[in-house]
Structure 1
Amino acid sequence: MANILTLLIFTLVSLSSACHKHDHQTLLSIMNSFPPNSFPATWNSSSDCCNWDYIQCNATTGRVDVLQITDNAGIAGPIPPSISRLSALQFLILRDLPNVVGSIPHQLLRLRNLQFLIISNTSVSGAIPSFLSKFSSNLLAINLNGNKLSGPIPASLGDLASLSLLYLSDNQLSGSIPDTLFRKTKVSHIQLDLSDNKLTGDIPKTFDDRKFITVNLANNQLTGDASVLFGKSKLVSDIILASNKLTFDLSKVEFPVKSLDRVDISHNEIYGRIPSQIADVAGLQYLDVSYNRLCGKIPKKLAQFNSSFFAHNKCLCGAPLPSCKQEM
């Protein structure tokens, strides 16, 4: 994701030598909200803010398009509401800031041009605010990975028409996955990561018609049937469901044949056989079905994988495991 962001940033914006006066004053206010000397020396009242670290400006208008503050343990305290005064901001990236605390300020809703909201690997806590659903149709991505957020995932996030990426992993989120997620999205390449939380309940049946390219729900407490994420004609590349309590018959699953690269359904309660149809998946690079209740002969195509990927099942046999005692 970092490489994609870098490409987008440098495509959309470039450095300018004419920092907008209003943005210059706002950035100084943001800096003064944090402890002294926690920002680079480039941040000072006498220099052009478009040349500061963490900043990129539009070359024509001099407005700040990108605020990307990363990897700075000296920055401590809550997210300043004054960020909302950077009205031309398209990318807000606050990442690897372990001493940034508090909740996500509702004032951010004023950022009507925002396309990417990334607040990751901080100590931000509280609930995921429902106001995020009120962002304009410009918002493409929300990444809140690696914080201390708790409570449910707001069902209203499904109202964001352009949202193609929702990353909420490694928090303390609870409750069920809303069946409304991505219900209004108009994009054809959805990325979803809800891994490493405390989510419960079933995977929504509405996900059957979502156009996922990656979905990661690992390390939760999800139950029931995950077959809605599979399908012969789907274009998903990664399906990661490890370490849940999922129970369904794998024999009835059809694997995507055009795009599938990685599948991890280990550490669940999945039963049945590994379908022979998996031989039609040309690009499969990783398959882990260990620690389930699967039985039967492993399709020959899968002999290339490590035996540990099939271990601790009810009665799987055949390469790379020991041969079957009789034809199954």
Structure 2
Amino acid sequence: MISTMQQFSSCILLLLMILTAHNFIPANSENCNPDDKKALLQIKKQFGNPTQLSSWDPTTDCCNSTWLGVDCDNFTPTYRVTNLEFSDLNLPKPVHFPPSITNLPSLVDLSLTRIPNLVGPIPLSIANLTTLRYITITQTNISGEIPYTLSQIKTLVTIEFNYNKLIGPLLASLSTIPSLVGIGFNGNQLTGTIPESYGSFPPLFTGLLLSRNRLSGKIPASLGKLNLADLDLSRNMLEGDASMFFKSNILTYTISLAMNSFAFDIGKVGLSKDLNKLDIRNNKIYGRLPEGLANLRYLHKLNVSNNNLCGQIPSLRFDESCYAHNKCLCGSPLPACKT
């Protein structure tokens, strides 16, 4: 009996010790890695301490889901910041890309959208983000050239730099990123030709979006090796043959070549059965429209106006403006063909 009581007392004592030890855990302990928290607070300062980042309180845990735009993993003893996403951030004055962003070594997703007071170049130190998979910088006033160090991040899956003020040439070395599936550089001021190396993008690469720039020259024949689901080269100064993008044996959803100087026979191209948008207006494209257009059940947008097309229009439900100003297109909704 005494032995049993001693064992019981020992158990109670052990339980009290465990509970007491638990109560001694500091009240201010947190999951956030201290180096990441330091970088985040520097980012806030470099942004000019915008009011939208008032939730970034240095006395709280940056991984407690209350810090705006911050997400962390939960696979390490001290959580690491993996996502940093800001949109419509009202910066008090124009500021450059905060260099401390590149001090977040576990970052996977970086998104900066609709921030007009974000200016200056993307720093070369962006290459420090060696685990980055998704980078989005859109609708800002970021300028300068695409940093050549970007291609050193071999984990990248998508690059979206749409509607900024980037200048200079396309970065040829992007094709060396083994996991890349798409790039978007719409609405910048990029110049020069499309690199020959872009025909060597990895097999899963399906999105090439380069509209509204100042690109010129002919499309490299090597790009015929790509199997693109979405292509937008509109509103540039490109010329020559772009027929290599039309294939019947792949999934292609959108092809936009509008407002360039392309010249090729549209009647000889293949058409993906999944095509839902074809915009080739304002070029020098010639030939007859493919009869296969009438069989594309997903096609909901078509514009072939202002080209050198001829012949009977296939049976399609698009209005006259979609066919206007061609050499000799005829048939509904244009005047009937002469017999």
Q: TM-score, normalised by structure 1?
A: 0.89
CA contact (8 A) 1:221 1:244 kept: yes
Alignment of 1:105-144 (within 5 A): 105-136=123-154, 138-144=155-161
Do the aligned partners of residues 182 and 270 (structure 1) sit closer, same or farther apart at CA in structure 2, a change above 3 Å counting? Answer: closer
Alpha-carbon distance in structure 2 between the residues aligned to 1:292 and 1:69: 42
Alpha-carbon distance in structure 2 between the residues aligned to 1:124 and 1:154: 16
Runs of 4+ in structure 1 over 3 Å off: 36-39
CA contact (8 A) 1:213 1:235 kept: yes
Shift of 1:34: 2.2
Alpha-carbon distance in structure 2 between the residues aligned to 1:121 and 1:282: 34
Do the aligned partners of residues 114 and 285 (structure 1) sit closer, same or farther apart at CA in structure 2, a change above 3 Å counting? Answer: same
Q: TM-score, normalised by structure 2?
A: 0.87
Shift of 1:319: 1.1
Shift of 1:278: 2.4
Matched residue, 1:180: 197
Alignment of 1:164-179 (within 5 A): 164-179=181-196
Shift of 1:38: 4.3
Alpha-carbon distance in structure 2 between the residues aligned to 1:291 and 1:35: 49
Matched residue, 1:292: 307
1:69 alignment partner, one of 69, 86, 107: 86
Alignment of 1:202-217 (within 5 A): 202-217=218-233
Alignment of 1:1-20 (within 5 A): 18-20=31-33
Matched residue, 1:60: 75
Q: Report how many aligned residue pairs link the two structures.
A: 305
2:323 alignment partner, one of 302, 310, 313: 310
Shift of 1:70: 1.3
CA contact (8 A) 2:203 2:226 kept: no
Q: Which residue identity lines up with residue 54 of structure 2 in the other structure?
A: A
Shift of 1:280: 3.5
Alignment of 1:191-210 (within 5 A): 191-210=207-226
Matched residue, 2:292: 277
Who wins on radius of gyration, i.e. which is larger?
Answer: 2
Identity of aligned residues (%): 40
- After superposition, the CA RMSD in angstroms is 1.4
Matched residue, 1:10: none
Alpha-carbon distance in structure 2 between the residues aligned to 1:316 and 1:170: 32
Q: Which residue identity lines up with residue 37 of structure 2 in the other structure?
A: H
SS at match of 2:41: helix
Alpha-carbon distance in structure 2 between the residues aligned to 1:34 and 1:283: 45
Shift of 1:182: 5.6
**Structure 1: gaps of 5 or more residues:** 1-16
Do the aligned partners of residues 158 and 322 (structure 1) sit closer, same or farther apart at CA in structure 2, a change above 3 Å counting? Answer: same
Matched residue, 1:9: none
Q: Which residue identity lines up with residue 180 of structure 1 in the other structure?
A: S
1:85 aligns with 2:100: no
Alpha-carbon distance in structure 2 between the residues aligned to 1:126 and 1:223: 26
SS at match of 2:53: coil
**Structure 2: gaps of 5 or more residues:** 1-29
1:27 aligns with 2:53: no
Deviations 1:21-64 (A, max 9, x none): 21111100111112234442101211111220011111333211
Of stretches 146-155 and 32-41 in structure 1, the one that deviates more from structure 2 is 32-41
Alpha-carbon distance in structure 1 between the residues aligned to 2:199 and 2:248: 21
Matched residue, 1:14: none
Q: Which residue identity lines up with residue 323 of structure 2 in the other structure?
A: F
Shift of 1:209: 1.4
Q: Which residue identity lines up with residue 108 of structure 1 in the other structure?
A: I
Matched residue, 1:248: 264
Q: Which residue identity lines up with residue 207 of structure 2 in the other structure?
A: Q
CA contact (8 A) 1:159 1:182 kept: no
1:190 alignment partner, one of 194, 202, 206: 206
Shift of 1:277: 2.7
Q: Which residue identity lines up with residue 251 of structure 2 in the other structure?
A: L
